[in-house]
Amino acid sequence: MKYKPASQSRQEGYNQALMTAPDFSFDLLARQGNARVGVFHTPHGPLQTPVFAPVGTQATVKSLTPRQVDELGASLVLANTYHLYLRPGDELVAQMGGLHRFMRWEKPILTDSGGFQVFSLAEMRKVDEDGVTFKSHIDGSTHRFTPEKSVLIQENLGADIIMAFDECAPPYERAYCELAMNRTHAWAERSLNAKKRPDQALFGIVQGGAFPDLRARSAGFISSLDFPGYAIGGLSVGETKEDMHRMLELVTPLLPESRPRYLMGVGSPEDLVNGVLRGIDIFDCVLPTRLARHQAAMTRTGRLNMMNAGFARDPNPIDASCGCYTCRNFSRAYIRHLIIAREMLAATLLSIHNLHTLVQLMADIREAIGAGTFEAFAAEFLRGYESRE
Amino acid sequence: MKYKPASQSRQEGYNQALMTAPDFSFDLLARQGNARVGVFHTPHGPLQTPVFAPVGTQATVKSLTPRQVDELGASLVLANTYHLYLRPGDELVAQMGGLHRFMRWEKPILTDSGGFQVFSLAEMRKVDEDGVTFKSHIDGSTHRFTPEKSVLIQENLGADIIMAFDECAPPYERAYCELAMNRTHAWAERSLNAKKRPDQALFGIVQGGAFPDLRARSAGFISSLDFPGYAIGGLSVGETKEDMHRMLELVTPLLPESRPRYLMGVGSPEDLVNGVLRGIDIFDCVLPTRLARHQAAMTRTGRLNMMNAGFARDPNPIDASCGCYTCRNFSRAYIRHLIIAREMLAATLLSIHNLHTLVQLMADIREAIGAGTFEAFAAEFLRGYESRE
């Protein structure tokens, strides 16, 4: 591959996108109950749903090369607007030809709006109707995000799917949830108006905490705006599993059938199965790569702590039924040795395994929905899964 | 690949090795001056020389999967007996089917004798004529290595090439160098006598510090023993470049033409070129992977500090003439971003690049020797290389 000057290649990419920009249509291929199989068309190829997106916070899925992420079967990667805006800067990424070229991921990318990190990571924040002023968690410098600014940053980054700027409130604080929801609605309209690039799909976000009436109002308002996809934010942030499920059951029927639905920041294997059962098409979560850096392996029956002394002389792979590079090649004894010897390869091999476990789970879910056996699949899965929550 | 019980597979492997054990012959294919091209036959395939071996201290080349090590072109990997004896233990490795199976490296492996680490890393050490008593740098526990113990550990690990137990003294301390050399000679004979496995090649080691007369005596004695290969130890440990070259020029003519010569713990690109010029066939060094973890890229003209602010918006690869995965895909700007964001991928991409640089240099050296152009190649290389020493 030849390197071209970044500005030239960015312009080329942009021109090409204008000519060949897909309509971001969503083809529903199969249904069972509320669960659906679909294809979402993006400028970087079709995305089969339901899909799980590994998180590449700083334009890298931690401890993996993009080739490894591709080989383990991932099709969509999420990157964080807040982090990339601060470092290396969205304008630098644009100069380098956009995020796909910068991080060498040729399949679809999704960026969040930056809102969640501003509200969870930034050192100081002051919200007003127009936007948020905050201090960088890296160097304490002051910055301001507005819906327009978030869209501009995401246009510089150049992901296929971008998100409207939103505010995520603690799920059981009613007054704050209502305030944040109303701001999220106003910001959704402003995000839509600010958007210029035709080759990006902007998704709206439903908020409303754990309050059914707020969630219903939010789903109604956001779905009245013409977004090519809809996200459900503010879940998996401290509410009970029951409340998360109740909110999903309430919200998804209020969203258009013909558009993909994205449950942000979720989840564990059981959360993915429960989400699909309730009509979710897209998921992302740091869990598999974060657990990998904390010596935990995900399996379809629960988690394994690979430091466990019982694995010291265990010649078996993490999961005998798993087809990932790690399980095809390495013993539990070797992975435990790498962890104890503090070798970086431990995080790499566990990340490959954990991500493959979720990606393969989604592939099996798609197949089960297509075959009309998903309800039995889900029931058996949830019966066999040992929850840690 | 199926997992078999380790003990069974080890026995199978051992039986198979007995039947098909190669003679560890060394075919000399081409020569120019003192430089040679050869093939060393091992149970895990033929090894083209001159060759550079990446170091996998704890049964992993740091930050890389064995597939990545294979894809970047490496053919021989070194692992450290001292480290693996302490953690996870050589008997555990044997139970898991040996080092090749444990770390999933199917090409040749070389283990050192443990001597160098005992003398450089262990917290306390007491040498006598019979061996060395030392305390583990990990937990302070007391251990003892003798030539027989070192061979036994290396037989448990199961590398293709194993090393006689030796003592490496500071290069300019004459009395100690002579004492250590004499012990190394006695231990070489004992190592040869202790060796049982027919499918491992035991190399003898020449010592003698920076003293020409000691080096000549050591080369004479060690080459009088029938080893399938000979190593030169105790260099690149603090002596001047001039002294290292002088010792090589003195020692290699005293070693049998028909056996491979291994310069231990070397080196930088210029050291490799200088070593081959003086008749060396095998090299190993932690330098490329250690530099990678310290943000430095090796090139054929010198080192680059990838933190350099000048790389912040540089769309070019580390080295436009390099064909490695890193240089085919990633910009200097991206690598600098990963370093500043403290992402593990930085070490991985730089390790791939640095190792490929040395592996490709050795391939080019072999080609130049074959074509009879190596002297010109070496002169031009050394003129263009900016030494850091």
Is there a contact between A102 and B333 if contact means CB atoms under 8 Å apart?
A: yes
Residues 191-210 of A with CB under 8 A from B: none
Q: Is B325 on the interface with A (CB under 8 A)?
A: yes
Residues 90-129 of B with CB under 8 A from A: 92, 95-97, 102-104
Q: What is the pLDDT of residue B119?
A: 84
pLDDT digits (tens, 9 = 90+) for A88-112: 999 999 999 999 999 999 999 999 9
Residue from the list B5, B104, B334 with its beta carbon closest to the beta carbon of A330: B104
Is there a contact between A65 and B345 if contact means CB atoms under 8 Å apart?
A: yes
pLDDT exceeds 50 at position B6? no
| Residues of chain A positioned with their CB less than 8 A from the CB of B331 | 3, 96, 102
pLDDT digits (tens, 9 = 90+) for B280-336: 999 999 999 999 999 999 999 999 999 999 999 999 999 999 999 999 999 999 999
Alpha helices in chain A (DSSP H): 6-20, 66-71, 81-86, 90-95, 99-103, 115-120, 147-157, 174-194, 212-224, 241-251, 269-277, 287-293, 325-329, 332-340, 345-371, 374-384
- Measure A64 CA to nearest chain B CA, in Å: 6
As given in the structure block, the two tokens for residue B342 are 């403290």
Interface test with B, best of A57, A60, A68 (most B CBs within 10 A): A60
Is there a contact between A96 and B315 if contact means CB atoms under 8 Å apart?
A: yes
Q: Is B63 on the interface with A (CB under 8 A)?
A: yes
pLDDT digits (tens, 9 = 90+) for A273-322: 999 999 999 999 999 999 999 999 999 999 999 999 999 999 999 999 99
pLDDT digits (tens, 9 = 90+) for B88-128: 999 999 999 999 999 999 999 999 999 889 888 877 899 99
Instruction: Tell which residue, A320, A245, A254, has the closest CA to residue A278.
Output: A245
Q: What is the pLDDT of residue A119?
A: 84
Alpha helices in B74-173 (DSSP H): 81-86, 90-95, 99-103, 115-120, 147-157
Q: How confident is the model at residue B8 (pLDDT cuts 50, 70, 90)?
A: very low
Q: Is B312 on the interface with A (CB under 8 A)?
A: yes
- Measure A15 CA to nearest chain B CA, in Å: 20
Instruction: Tell which residue, A151, A146, A124, A147, has the closest CA to residue A135.
Output: A124
Q: How many CA atoms lie within 13 A of B360 on its CB side?
A: 18
Decide if B155 contacts B85 (C-beta within 8 A). Answer: no
Phi, psi of B56 (to 5 degrees): -115, 70
Residues 338-377 of A with CB under 8 A from B: 338, 340-341, 343-345, 347-349
pLDDT digits (tens, 9 = 90+) for A370-382: 999 999 999 999 9
- H helix or E strand, kind and range, residue B375: helix B374-384
- Measure B214 CA to nearest chain A CA, in Å: 38
Q: How confident is the model at residue B4 (pLDDT cuts 50, 70, 90)?
A: very low
pLDDT exceeds 50 at position A187? yes
Instruction: Tell which residue, A81, A58, A69, A80, has the closest CA to residue A105.
Output: A69
Q: What is the pLDDT of residue B19?
A: 52
For B366-380, what is the mean pLDDT? 97
Q: How confident is the model at residue B52 (pLDDT cuts 50, 70, 90)?
A: very high
Catalytic residue among A90, A160, A271, A284: A284
pLDDT digits (tens, 9 = 90+) for A214-258: 999 999 999 999 999 999 999 999 999 999 999 999 999 999 999
Q: Is A54 on the interface with B (CB under 8 A)?
A: no
For B128-154, what is the mean pLDDT? 96
Residue from the list B6, B95, B337 with its beta carbon closest to the beta carbon of A59: B337
For B159-174, what is the mean pLDDT? 96
Q: What is the pLDDT of residue A124?
A: 87
Is there a contact between B88 and A325 if contact means CB atoms under 8 Å apart?
A: no
pLDDT > 90: what percent of chain A?
90
For B152-165, what is the mean pLDDT? 98
Distance separating alpha carbons of residues A68 and A87, to the nearest angstrom: 24
| Residues of chain B positioned with their CB less than 8 A from the CB of A58 | 337-338, 341, 343
- Measure A169 CA to nearest chain B CA, in Å: 28
How many beta-carbon pairs under 8 angstroms link A with B? 133
For A168-175, what is the mean pLDDT? 96
Q: What is the pLDDT of residue A7?
A: 46
As given in the structure block, the two tokens for residue B25 are 């012959």
Interface test with B, best of A348, A349, A350, A353 (most B CBs within 10 A): A348
Is there a contact between B316 and A3 if contact means CB atoms under 8 Å apart?
A: yes
| Residues of chain B positioned with their CB less than 8 A from the CB of A329 | 1, 66, 104
Is there a contact between B340 and A312 if contact means CB atoms under 8 Å apart?
A: no
| Residues of chain B positioned with their CB less than 8 A from the CB of A341 | 58, 60, 83, 87-88
For A353-357, what is the mean pLDDT? 98
Burial letters B301-331, b for 16+ CB under 10 A, else e:
eebbebeeeebebbbebbbeebebbbbebbb
Instruction: Tell which residue, B224, B171, B170, B231, has the closest CA to residue B205.
Output: B231
In the predicted model, what is the mean pLDDT of chain B?
Answer: 94
Q: What is the pLDDT of residue A20?
A: 56
| Residues of chain B positioned with their CB less than 8 A from the CB of A66 | 329
| Residues of chain A positioned with their CB less than 8 A from the CB of B90 | none
Is there a contact between A343 and B3 if contact means CB atoms under 8 Å apart?
A: no
| Residues of chain B positioned with their CB less than 8 A from the CB of A1 | 328-329
Q: What is the pLDDT of residue B21?
A: 58
Residue A308 CB neighbour total at 10 angstroms: 12
As given in the structure block, the two tokens for residue B7 are 């003990």
pLDDT digits (tens, 9 = 90+) for A9-33: 544 554 454 455 578 999 999 999 9
Is there a contact between A334 and B96 if contact means CB atoms under 8 Å apart?
A: yes
As given in the structure block, the two tokens for residue B250 are 């003195």
Phi, psi of B162 (to 5 degrees): -125, 160
ipTM of this predicted complex?
A: 0.94
Distance separating alpha carbons of residues B255 and B262, to the nearest angstrom: 11
Q: What is the pLDDT of residue B207?
A: 98
Q: Is A241 on the interface with B (CB under 8 A)?
A: no
Catalytic residue among A112, A199, A271, A319: A112
Q: What is the pLDDT of residue A12?
A: 56
Q: What is the pLDDT of residue A388?
A: 59
Is there a contact between B328 and A1 if contact means CB atoms under 8 Å apart?
A: yes
As given in the structure block, the two tokens for residue A69 are 């992420």
Is there a contact between A341 and B87 if contact means CB atoms under 8 Å apart?
A: yes
Q: How many CA atoms lie within 13 A of A200 on its CB side?
A: 31
Is there a contact between B65 and A348 if contact means CB atoms under 8 Å apart?
A: yes
| Residues of chain A positioned with their CB less than 8 A from the CB of B83 | 341
Is there a contact between A88 and B337 if contact means CB atoms under 8 Å apart?
A: yes
For B160-173, what is the mean pLDDT? 96
Q: How confident is the model at residue A386 (pLDDT cuts 50, 70, 90)?
A: confident
Residue A5 CB neighbour total at 10 angstroms: 12
A284 is catalytic: yes
Is there a contact between B340 and A6 if contact means CB atoms under 8 Å apart?
A: no
Any idea which residues of B carry the catalytic annotation? Answer: 112, 284
pLDDT exceeds 60 at position B389? no
For A35-51, what is the mean pLDDT? 97
pTM recorded for the entire structure: 0.94
Residue from the list A60, A315, A344 with its beta carbon closest to the beta carbon of B63: A344
Q: What is the pLDDT of residue B16?
A: 54
Q: Which residues pair with B150 in a beta bridge?
A: none
Question: Which residue in chain B is spatially nearest to A328 when comparing CA positions?
Answer: B1
- Measure B1 CA to nearest chain A CA, in Å: 6
